[in-house]
Structure 1
Amino acid sequence: MTADEIIGYDELDALSARLGLAVDASELHGSLCGFLAGGGTLDGGSLTSALHLDAAGDTASASDQAMLQRLVRQSEAELADPELGFEPLLPADDRPLSERAEALGDWCRGFLGGFGLTGAGTHAKLSDEAQEILRDIETLAGSAFDFGDESEDEDALIELHEFVRMAAMLLHAECAGGRNRPTGGTLH
């Protein structure tokens, strides 16, 4: 894997297991995205320290640390992407629907935890829309999914995924938006 390659679900899940983290790839990515969306910065610290994650495994190797740093850069860039290219990191579409739905709930739980670490959720300055988005993500995080018609369930999961994707970008724009703008030149 080169330094420019996008980190996928399986690679991040393997890293989480190697480090002995008590979260899967979706929850780890959600935690990071919530932290970034809330305006959190690593300021040279480690991702696991910033997110208050205890690593039960061996100390992270240099390549594992590099992967975590790439994940941070990747997530920052995607959340601030003017083309709206952000995607929550979830299992591939060929995985069972129940696994993908559970991973979306894990991502939402992680997002809320990471966002909460920044203190942005307690800010009275959050717009009504942002507060409503957080409540909706909280509802998704605590949901148990019932499955019936596979086609309808797949459509519902796609809609929830799209809501979460847009919600993360909206919260990022509101809480951390100015921090990621280029410092030189004029914005058009």
Structure 2
Amino acid sequence: MSVFEENINDLYDRFEELLAEANCEITAAEFQGILSGMISAGLQRSSLSWLEQINALINENNGFSNELSQFAKMLVEETHQSFADDDLLAPILIPDDSYPMVDRLESLSFWSQGFLLGFGLQFGDEKALQNEIKESLTDIAEISQVSIENDDNEDAKMALETLVEHIKVAVKMIYMELVRNPTSESKLSSQKTGSKTIH
């Protein structure tokens, strides 16, 4: 079983603590979203370029503590493993349904924003993307802005779970198209890292 399914709340809470201790103005969900975006766009498993890039983005190049760095490296390895497992959808680090709906929805929004940022950092030029991938990125961008009214009822909970599953499927599809079965054009573009945002 993936760590994202087995101990999701413990993983989320501990990462939040480490980020707060390091005075990093980013949530655990957004951090793992950035990693997921970079991995979906072709970040190599052996690469540590993500550590320098995220450090520059959220910590003004002040460096991470050893504990935070080791935790983040564990997280990126677990994220890589989950993406590579054909039996699993994309891993998303947000709290489970024992948390209030408003917190889960906020985490999903942060995760989605992080994913788009990470994807843009790693991939570069969006013009080379297939239309299906562009549509999935648009869906993720829209979900990052979503709000749910009456968040204490069962319909709202089901709506949130639907959004989570939609993102998991969309992100896994992006990964499969760009990393597992890339076209030559997409593979070339995913190796570039010039762009920092999705336009």
Q: Offset at 1:121?
A: 5.6
1:97 to 96, 101, 112: 101
How do 1:32-111 residues align onto structure 2 when only pairs under 5 Å count?
32-41=35-44, 44-45=47-48, 47-51=50-54, 52-55=56-59, 59-111=63-115
Structure (1 or 2) with the greater helix fraction: 2
User: Taking structure 2 as the reference length, what is the TM-score of the superposition?
Assistant: 0.77
Give the stretch that moved more between structures: 54-63 or 14-23.
Answer: 54-63
Cα pair distance change 1:105/1:163, threshold 3 Å: same
Q: Offset at 1:43?
A: 5.5
Amino acid at match of 1:66: Q
Query: What CA distance in whole angstroms lies between the structure 2 residues aligned with 1:84 and 1:153?
Result: 25
For structure 1, the residue ranges without an aligned partner over 5 or more in a row are 180-188
Cα pair distance change 1:6/1:85, threshold 3 Å: farther
Q: Offset at 1:67?
A: 1.2
Identity of aligned residues (%): 28
Give the stretch that moved more between structures: 59-68 or 32-41.
Answer: 59-68
- SS of residue matched to 2:57: coil
Q: Which stretches of structure 1, 4 residues or more, deviate above 3 A after TM superposition?
A: 41-48, 56-59
User: Alignment RMSD, CA only?
Assistant: 2.5
Q: Offset at 1:131?
A: 1.0
Cα pair distance change 1:20/1:129, threshold 3 Å: same
Cα pair distance change 1:23/1:42, threshold 3 Å: farther
| Structure 1 partner of 2:194 | none
| Structure 2 partner of 1:171 | 174
Q: How many residues align?
A: 174
Asked whether 1:115 is paired with 2:93, we answer no
Query: What CA distance in whole angstroms lies between the structure 2 residues aligned with 1:14 and 1:148?
Result: 26
2:139 to 136, 152, 164: 136
Query: What CA distance in whole angstroms lies between the structure 1 residues aligned with 2:51 and 2:137?
Result: 23
Amino acid at match of 1:135: T
Query: What CA distance in whole angstroms lies between the structure 1 residues aligned with 2:100 and 2:151?
Result: 14
For structure 2, the residue ranges without an aligned partner over 5 or more in a row are 1-5, 183-199
Amino acid at match of 2:26: V
- Residues 25-47 of structure 1: per-residue CA shift (max 9 Å, x gap): 11111111001111124755364
- Residues 41-74 of structure 1: per-residue CA shift (max 9 Å, x gap): 4755364422343326974333322211111100
Cα pair distance change 1:36/1:18, threshold 3 Å: same
